[in-house]
Amino acid sequence: MRKIVKQVAAIDVAKNELVVCLGRMYDDWTPELFAGKTFANNAKGMTSMLAWVRKLHNEEIPVRFVMEATGVYHESLVYYLNDELQEVSIVLPNKISNYMRTLETKTITDKTASEAIALFGLERRLDKWKRPKEIFRKLRQLTRERDQIVQERTIVKNQLHAEQTEAHPGKSTLARIKSRIKMLDKQETEIKQEIAALIATDAETKKAVALITTVSGVGVLTAAIILAETNGFEHIRNKRQLASYAGFDVKEKQSGISIKGKPRISKKGNKNLRKAMHLPALAAIRYDERFKAIFSRIVSKHGIKMKAAVAVQRKILEMTYTIFKTGKKYDKNYLNELITINT
């Protein structure tokens, strides 16, 4: 008689729904998907889902809950399961989408997605999710709030420009718009101050920020975003994985000799992390010979400045990881010194 060696509860998380698929692996390495059900993505639905899983799974073998990192919709569920002492693994969306291409699934639905996650969880050895340090959770809240304020301010400034260019702009309208911009400026300043104060309360985080900000173009705010969005590089094992997590990994479409698309970054990772690299890259290209050389080399090869800028963004992010892991400050003059030695 076959024995069960592994069990997973795979969850495709949406804004309002949790589509669950239960799977198990036998000792002859044969996977089986044996149950599926949909629950509401709220407190009541989570409780019902866990009770359902406990009722159906084999109690002798622990069950691992596996889900994709879907924006913020999965976070409440993860914390709930962790509070209930359940094992949880979170997988990057691009890993699941790449895995689904290997299956014979022609139609992608929430149900087939949960089934793919279940098979992926059964076949792969996944890291167990750990609660992030409280300071990283708070930093993520603050940095994301600031980003929303910046986006809102951009919209309001566009409204101001549109009103000012009218033939007869309304004085009261202009006053209200300017007042909103002033308020948003004040809120952004308050958040930046709160971020700085929060970093100062934790010696380890303060040291990490000091190291990361030695990289050209990277300031305290960018360092805070990087640490917050990666939980201090908690589950990052190498630079390639970090690039994939941020969505900087390159995807390519090719079929024989007939179909070949241009290589593009996947953009399936953490958009907040990817977005934070934009301004640091522009500054690094301008003031750092290392990144200027990377930018110039790619532009001369492809003639596309945006492609070169994205390459620098990825390089800066990878550099922060290296600096964090080695504990060594970034040397801006390294390239010049290397050229001098070789000549």
Whether 33 is in a domain gets the answer yes
Does residue 259 sit within a domain?
A: yes
Question: Does the pLDDT at position 174 exceed 80?
Answer: yes
Range scoring the smallest mean pLDDT among 38-47, 106-115, 193-202: 106-115
Please, which residues bridge with residue 10 across strands? 21, 66
For position 22, which CATH number holds?
3.30.420.40
In a domain, 110, yes or no: yes
Average pLDDT, the chain: 89
Concatenating the DSSP letter of every residue in 150-171 gives: HHHHHHHHHHHHHHHTSSS--H
Same domain, 284 and 297: yes
pLDDT tens for each residue of 3-13: 999 999 999 99
Residues 252 and 177 in one domain: no
Of 102, 123, 144, the last residue of a domain is 123
Nearest-CA neighbor of 122 among 32, 11, 28, 13? Answer: 32
Same domain, 339 and 242: yes
pLDDT, greater one: 158 or 246: 158
Residues 238 and 317 in one domain: yes
pLDDT of the residue at 150 = 96
Domain-embedded: residue 129: no
In a domain, 128, yes or no: no
Q: What is the mean pLDDT of residues 228-253?
A: 83
Query: Are residue 217 and residue 342 in the same domain, yes or no?
Result: yes
Same domain (yes/no): 178, 210: no
Shared domain check, 256 and 197: no
Q: Are residues 70 and 161 in the same domain?
A: no
Same domain for 329 and 300: yes
Q: Predicted confidence band at 236 (pLDDT cuts at 50, 70, 90)?
A: confident
Give the tens place of pLDDT for each residue, 25-52: 999 999 999 999 999 999 999 999 999 9
Which of 142-156, 203-217, 234-248, 261-275 has the least mean pLDDT? 261-275
> With 50 as the cut, is the pLDDT of residue 93 above it?
yes
Any domain includes 86: yes
Domain boundary among 150, 171, 201: 201
Question: Based on the domain organization, do 229 and 300 belong to the same domain?
Answer: yes
Decide if pLDDT at 339 tops 50.
no
Percent of the chain whose predicted confidence (pLDDT) is above 70: 92
Q: Quick check: is 53 in a domain?
A: yes
Domain termination site, one of 97, 123, 149: 123
What is the enclosing helix (H) or strand (E) of 240?
A: helix 239-246
To the nearest 10 degrees (0 to 180), the angle between helices 220-230 and 203-212 is: 120
Which is nearest to 29 in space by CA: 62, 54, 3, 68? Answer: 3
**pLDDT category of residue 235 using cuts at 50, 70 and 90:** confident
Is the domain of 278 the same as that of 212? yes
Q: How many domains does the chain have?
A: 3
Residue 222 lies in a domain: yes
Higher pLDDT, 115 or 332: 115
Owning domain of residue 286:
203-343
Q: pLDDT confidence of 253, banded at 50, 70, 90?
A: low
Torsion, Cα of 152, 153, 157, 163 (10° steps): 50
Do 252 and 175 share a structural domain?
no
Contact 22, 7 (CB under 8 A): yes
Quickly state the pLDDT bin for 259 (edges 50, 70, 90). very low
- Per-residue pLDDT band for 333 (boundaries 50, 70, 90) equals confident
271-284: pLDDT as tens digits:
899 999 999 999 99
Q: What's the pLDDT score for residue 303?
A: 86
